[in-house]
């Protein structure tokens, strides 16, 4: 007997949104087409790092906030419109298709603001939430250290409580935007004698405090752009009111903060990949140095088709995971999406590079990698940059461990 399928049961699956959701999408599209900053304004004031909110970027973030389009799932008093989970999904799909990010300080917007909303004191919420959402203050995220990356709970930057001050000593590394950020959302060890997950706290640290030094790390992709820094703390005094949440219970914020980051990654990743597949197809229509059309190479065509199939599998797996989350369940699809999405994007860039051949290098360094106002950056730069997504927010190896243990139930060793 042939296996039962949806068709043999007479079922039809309609993968489309209801009219109300489509109206939401149209309203957003029309707002975006009227409100994005003009490319010449973006070009005149380039974005230097993730802690640097330029003039146009602040105005753009404020327009989004004031119109309820910055964080649509949040309540109106915090710049949202109480959007449903499905509307938020549509929102992230649409936002992935425009050439600008919602904020030049994504850590502040997507990790730190939700963490303060969930764990901060009333005073901290009043002082930081709206200014962060409106791009008036920028943040860096002090988690990783030389001895604590994947194993974040090993962090050793020490904060000891002396009267009503914490005194902080230690070092962070890979701190995006630290050279420009006003504040650091910093994970510190407050009880060195407790088990490693139990003695961690979170402090809000003013980056201008005496005793902080920031050493930018040059990048492979663009030597003029140093987004990462090492940050050193030497007897830095932090008022005790800057403690976020409960003393020694910072690990729950760690998992909360990272969940915000993962949520951000997976919803927009597939839409971005689909857009890049479109760019790859356009590349196939271009003529190579010896006059042949790149798309005439059957190997190129096969690889693009394979990519498309993989991207659609990823998309529908994402929808399935999203449906679980929307029903309040946990979703192992997060880790699978993070792993496959970041590696698919890398493969895509490599296919483009190979199709361009040596020509890829001609254009690679002609234009600033992050000047998106002139269209997508060259493929060679995109390929180099694609490595970062396989590391940030949990490396591919760590995602494989999570999938093996939590999804497949395999033993730890």
Ligand X SMILES: Cc1cc2nc3c(=O)[nH]c(=O)nc-3n(C[C@H](O)[C@H](O)[C@H](O)COP(=O)(O)OP(=O)(O)OC[C@H]3O[C@@H](n4cnc5c(N)ncnc54)[C@H](O)[C@@H]3O)c2cc1C
Catalytic residues: 261
Residue 388 found at the interface with ligand X (CB under 6 A): yes
In the bound complex, what is the minimum distance in angstroms from residue 143's beta carbon to ligand X? 3
Binding characters for ligand X, 136-155, by CB under 6 A (x = yes):
----xxxxx----xx-----
Q: Which is nearer to ligand X, 68 or 149 (CB)?
A: 149
Smallest separation (angstroms) from ligand X to the CB of 360: 22
Which residue's CB atom is positioned nearest to ligand X? 149
Nearer to ligand X, 65 or 174 (CB): 174
Other C-beta atoms closer than 10 Å to the C-beta of 103 total 25
Q: DSSP code of 249?
A: B
Q: How far is the CB of 174 from ligand X (least distance, A)?
A: 4
How many chain residues touch ligand X (CB under 6 A)?
18
Distance between CA atoms of residues 339 and 395, nearest Å:
8
Sign of the torsion angle spanned by Cα atoms 347, 259, 270, 101: negative
Nearer to ligand X, 132 or 356 (CB): 132
Out of 78, 392, 403, 404, name the contact with ligand X by CB under 6 A.
Answer: 392
Rounded CA-CA distance 228/310 in Å is: 32
Strands 212-216 and 183-189, how do they pair? unpaired
Q: How many CB atoms lie within 10 A of CB 168?
A: 26
- DSSP-derived pairing of the beta strands 200-206 and 139-142: unpaired
What's the N-to-C CA distance of the chain in angstroms? 42
CA dist 154 → 188, 189, 192, 204, 393 (Å) = 10, 9, 10, 20, 17
Binding window for ligand X (CB under 6 A); candidates: 66-74, 78-86, 305-313, 385-393: 385-393
Cα 94 off chain centre by:
16
Q: Are 207 and 140 in contact (CB under 8 A)?
A: yes
Figure out which of the listed residues 96, 98, 217, 398 binds ligand X, where binding follows CB under 6 A: 398
- By C-beta, is 242 or 395 nearer to ligand X? 395
Closest CB to ligand X among residues 21, 395: 395
Classify 206 as helix, strand or coil.
Answer: strand
Q: Which two tokens stand for residue 78?
A: 């915090």
Q: Is 54 in the site for ligand X (CB under 6 A)?
A: no
Q: Min. distance of Cβ 227 from ligand X in angstroms?
A: 8
Check residue 176 for interaction with ligand X (CB under 6 A).
yes
The distance of closest approach from Cβ of residue 316 to ligand X in the complex, given in angstroms and rounded to an integer, is 28
Could you tell me how many helices (H) and strands (E) the chain has, helices first?
Answer: 14, 8
**Least distance CB 225 / ligand X (angstroms):** 12
d(CA 284, CA 54): 36
Q: Which is nearer to ligand X, 55 or 147 (CB)?
A: 147
**Candidate segments 74-82, 88-96, 210-218, 387-395, binder of ligand X by CB under 6 A:** 387-395
List 24, 119, 174, 379, residue binding ligand X (CB under 6 A): 174
Ranges within 95-114 binding ligand X (CB under 6 A) = 107
Of 103, 138, 157, 175, the one binding ligand X by CB under 6 A: 175
Q: Give whichever of 175 and 356 is closer to ligand X, judged by the CB atom.
A: 175
3-state secondary structure 87-153: HHHHHHHHHCCCCCCCCCCHHHHHHHHHHHHHHCCHHHHHHHHHHHHCCCCCEEEECCECCECCCHH
Question: Quick check: 397 binds ligand X (CB under 6 A)?
Answer: yes
- Sites of contact with ligand X (CB under 6 A): 107, 140-144, 149-150, 174-176, 388, 391-392, 395, 397-398, 401
């Amino acid at each position: 007997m042939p296996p039962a399928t949806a068709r043999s049961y007479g079922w039809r699956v309609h993968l489309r949104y209801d009219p109300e959701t489509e109206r939401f999408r149209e309203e957003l599209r029309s707002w975006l087409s009227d409100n994005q900053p003009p490319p010449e304004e973006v070009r005149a004031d380039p974005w230097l790092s993730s802690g640097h909110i330029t003039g146009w970027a602040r105005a753009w973030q404020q327009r989004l906030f004031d119109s309820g389009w910055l964080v649509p799932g949040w309540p109106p008093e915090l710049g949202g419109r109480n959007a449903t989970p499905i509307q938020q999904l549509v929102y992230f799909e649409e936002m992935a298709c425009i050439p600008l990010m919602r904020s030049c300080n994504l850590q502040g917007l997507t990790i730190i603001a939700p963490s303060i909303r969930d764990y901060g004191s009333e005073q901290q919420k009043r002082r930081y939430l709206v200014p962060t959402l409106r791009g008036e203050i920028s943040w860096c995220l002090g988690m990783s250290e030389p001895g604590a990356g994947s194993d974040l709970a090993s962090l050793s930057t020490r904060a000891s409580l002396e009267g009503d001050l914490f005194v902080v000593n230690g070092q962070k590394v890979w701190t995006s935007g630290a050279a420009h950020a006003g504040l650091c959302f910093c994970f510190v060890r407050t009880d060195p004698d407790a088990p490693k997950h139990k003695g961690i706290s979170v402090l809000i640290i003013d980056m201008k405090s005496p005793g902080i030094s920031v050493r930018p790390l040059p990048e492979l992709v663009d030597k003029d752009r140093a987004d990462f820094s090492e940050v050193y703390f030497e007897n830095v005094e932090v008022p005790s009111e800057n403690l976020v949440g409960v003393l020694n219970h910072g690990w729950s914020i760690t998992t909360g903060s990272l969940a915000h980051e993962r949520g951000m990654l997976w919803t927009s990743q597939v839409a971005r990949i689909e857009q890049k597949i479109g760019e790859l197809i356009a590349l196939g229509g271009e003529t190579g140095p010896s006059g042949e059309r790149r798309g005439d190479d059957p190997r190129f065509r096969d690889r693009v088709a394979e990519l498309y199939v993989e991207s659609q599998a990823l998309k529908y797996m994402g929808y399935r995971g999203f449906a679980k989350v929307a029903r309040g369940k946990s979703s192992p699809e997060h880790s699978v999406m993070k792993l496959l999405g970041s590696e698919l994007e890398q493969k895509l860039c490599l296919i483009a590079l190979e199709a361009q051949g040596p020509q890829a290098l001609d254009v690679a360094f002609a234009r600033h990698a992050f000047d998106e106002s002139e269209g997508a950056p060259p493929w060679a730069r995109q390929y180099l940059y694609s490595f970062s997504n396989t590391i940030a927010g949990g490396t591919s190896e760590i995602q494989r461990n999570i999938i093996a243990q939590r999804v497949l139930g395999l033993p730890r060793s």
